Structure 1
Amino acid sequence: MSEGAQRTQVESDRPYDVFHTDCPARGVVDHVTSRWGIWVLISLRSNDLRFYELRDSIQGISEKMLAQTLRALVQDGLVWREVEPTTPPQVTYGLTEFGQDIGEPLTDLFDRITERLPQQAPQRGDGAPKIEP
């Protein structure tokens, strides 16, 4: 069987192929793996948080980037948003069932990385710690 025919067979078995630019799942993957998306999902893994609590839990994120990231993750169905009609409004965010499902392997990845780092990790030239095999 030729490579092209084999690839066609695999594609017909899967509803989505994220390697194609027009795949609807690709946008979700892009949002989850964006610079801030992964941190939002990890931050919400154990608690629902208000906007400012979430901002404070992710060092380095601006309010603008947090708002944009949350908007995308809510639209993708990974995060829920609840607005309490107070003055000023209090907005709380949490993971949907889909978000929890996606966040679990991200949390595992995060935990594996932090467990493998030495206590006082020597720094590479780019500021990232060296990880020994």
Structure 2
Amino acid sequence: MYTIGGVSKTETQNQQIHSIPCKIGYTGPATVESNFIRSKVEGETTERGMFRGRGLEGADWKPPNNYQIVVVKERKGPKGTMLDIEAKADSIKVWEWDKSCGENANRTTIGRASTYLKIANALAN
């Protein structure tokens, strides 16, 4: 059983969250702006990037209505495992190296997976 523990709204506003298709041993905050080469292509909704020698394409993905994007961190609490909200965001910058992101990242894995949220919501209603 998980309990969600919140943090104050001011601590979680305007966070930038990236989903990069690679495995990295580090799981904490990173200075993406200084360690990840990115450029915006004029006239396109996607960005181009480079990470560990691989070319990447990134696009913003926004969750369906009535859903939020949060980053949680697990910790042991007095009543079991707790998930503390560490960050909130309006969108996730989703990066792909082997396929085009497309407009609003709908062609990415996370974009396609969110379709199941829409289907589940339709079936529940």
Of Structure 1 and Structure 2, the greater strand share is in 2
Shorter chain as normaliser: what TM range? under 0.3
Of Structure 1 and Structure 2, the greater helix share is in 1
Larger radius of gyration: 1
Calculate the TM-score normalised by the size of structure 1. 0.24
